[in-house]
Structure 1
Amino acid sequence: MIPTKPIAQDGFTIARGVLPSETLAALIESSILPEDGRGGVRNLLDIPAFRELADSPQIRALVEPILGTEAFPVRGILFDKTGEANWKVPWHQDVTIAVTNRIEASGYGPWSIKAGVQHVQPPAQILENMLSVRIHLDDCPASNGALRVISATHQYGKLSQAEIEAVVLQQVPITCEADAGDALLMRPLLIHASSPSTVPSHRRVIHFDFANVELANGLGWRERKTPMLAGLNHA
């Protein structure tokens, strides 16, 4: 479960064997799988099994050395790339967060609504204090749409699409192949993409975002733990 390399320089790392096969089977059994070929489920932290996973010792052990003990989960998404939902994601940075409601604040915007939830682009400083943990429920070789990244680009700050495309032309992508139970850790501002599967099968990935900062002007993280969830296990 030890990450293959430090994340600070490259902006990503892979931790091998984070979850055992029996845990993976239980998560797959409890999963609310995407419907109508959409390939994804948002607001995953509203589901107790996934909230417990985000707060589990195995995941906290990955997050805390990077963000500290005050880090908390703020968003969960389940992706399932199959023959019916076999999409391509172009080169981009993850620059939006899910919030409880719309409150205008300096540096926050533009706004959007996804699955009925308000999303906004926060200042780069917020994104620099976040970490994404992508847990693979299935083997994910290059042929099954493994994530590709441009190393160290999280250090460039928040980029325009034209700037992203210029960077990609100058560097060699790295394909992050993973086995079931492995976790890919990455900074949201790392430039990344994924191709359609050439041999489509399930490519179920649980994507958790963690943060260790508060938002401005009374804005709240949409999926941050509320008092109603206080009884769930956490470390």
Structure 2
Amino acid sequence: MKSAKPDNIACSAFDNIGMTANKLDDDGFLITGPLFGHELGPRLENIIPQLKQDSIGSRNLMEHSWCVDLAKLIRGHQRIAPFLSAAAVAVQCNLFEKSKNQNWLVPVHQDLGIAVREKIKHPALTGWTEKEGSIFVQPPDSFLHEMVAVRFHIDECGLDDGPLRVVRASHKAGRLDSHAALAERDRVGETLCAVERGGAMLMKPLLLHASSKASGHSRRRVLHFVFAPPVLPFGLQWRHAF
């Protein structure tokens, strides 16, 4: 694997509200500076500790009104809206929390599953599974290309806090098995994605990404929102759509 050098560390370099969606389409990701003022932080600090979490975080947060409201704020934000379809809806939100005491790593992978209301039999639908009471399925790549994840950072995520490592433009290669994913990572190298507190990282689901354990002493809490077209193929229905 290529080592991380200063020229492949990403931070808020793409914080330009006049930018077109080409940057996201070309690289598969981009990073903004803080989206909101300081008033949002204390509100989230009161809410997050009340959430039921497993070893790495919580899923199904779209069941909470505060999360739906935040998703709508993010979708309409001047730094986010240009990169989403006007019809896009928020379909999922996960909380990921990483710290010295709650530490974990994620190998290189793509985000292939979506949360749906019920199972539908169709040969194009694969990878059915259940997580925290939600049914997940892997739709065709053509649909995944229409989705965008927005990772809202409650805390600053520096290079010691287990930031995402992404393989730039790897989403263009489509769905990759584990061997092809590792080969693409070794060919292209990885970019470390540092994000300011209150900032966001936008990414395409098919972008190869991974993360290491945190080596510092801070917390890295991320609300991972997924925005997608309101209508699913093959008669599928979203579990949540706002």
Cα distance in 2 between the residues matched to 1:37 and 1:224: 24
- Deviates further, 98-107 or 19-28: 19-28
SS class of match (2:149): strand
Q: Count residues with an aligned counterpart.
A: 224
**Contact 1:13–1:186 (CA<8 Å) still a contact in 2?**
yes
Partner letter of residue 45 of structure 1?
M
Query: CA offsets, 1:196-216, max 9 Å, x none?
Result: 001142111000000025222
Match of 1:2 in 2: 16
Match of 2:195 in 1: 178
Shift of 1:83: 2.6
Partner letter of residue 59 of structure 1?
R
In the alignment, is residue 60 of structure 1 matched against residue 90 of structure 2?
no
Shift of 1:10: 0.5
Shift of 1:183: 0.3
Match of 2:154 in 1: 137
1:164 corresponds, among 181, 190, 202, to 181
Cα distance in 2 between the residues matched to 1:125 and 1:200: 41
Gaps of 5+ in 2: 1-14
Identity of aligned residues (%): 35
Alpha carbons of structure 1 residues 179 and 4: separation in structure 2 relative to 1, 3 Å: farther
Query: CA offsets, 1:41-67, max 9 Å, x none?
Result: 1001111111100011x4323443223
Alpha carbons of structure 1 residues 4 and 12: separation in structure 2 relative to 1, 3 Å: farther
Match of 2:35 in 1: 18
Match of 1:110 in 2: 127
Cα distance in 1 between the residues matched to 2:175 and 2:50: 32
Match of 1:230 in 2: none
Q: Please give the TM-score of this superposition, normalised by the length of structure 1.
A: 0.89
Q: Please give the TM-score of this superposition, normalised by the length of structure 2.
A: 0.87
Alpha carbons of structure 1 residues 177 and 67: separation in structure 2 relative to 1, 3 Å: same
Match of 2:218 in 1: 201
SS class of match (2:130): strand
Partner letter of residue 127 of structure 2?
P
Match of 2:8 in 1: none
2:137 corresponds, among 108, 117, 120, to 120
Shift of 1:82: 2.0
Shift of 1:90: 0.4
Match of 1:38 in 2: 55
**Contact 1:71–1:211 (CA<8 Å) still a contact in 2?**
yes
Cα distance in 2 between the residues matched to 1:32 and 1:74: 23
**Contact 1:144–1:197 (CA<8 Å) still a contact in 2?**
yes
SS class of match (2:44): helix
SS class of match (2:93): strand
Alpha carbons of structure 1 residues 126 and 37: separation in structure 2 relative to 1, 3 Å: closer
- Deviates further, 132-141 or 165-174: 165-174
**Contact 1:67–1:212 (CA<8 Å) still a contact in 2?**
no
Cα distance in 2 between the residues matched to 1:79 and 1:170: 29
Cα distance in 2 between the residues matched to 1:199 and 1:33: 25
Alpha carbons of structure 1 residues 103 and 32: separation in structure 2 relative to 1, 3 Å: farther
Alpha carbons of structure 1 residues 156 and 114: separation in structure 2 relative to 1, 3 Å: same
RMSD: 1.8
1:77 corresponds, among 94, 98, 119, to 94
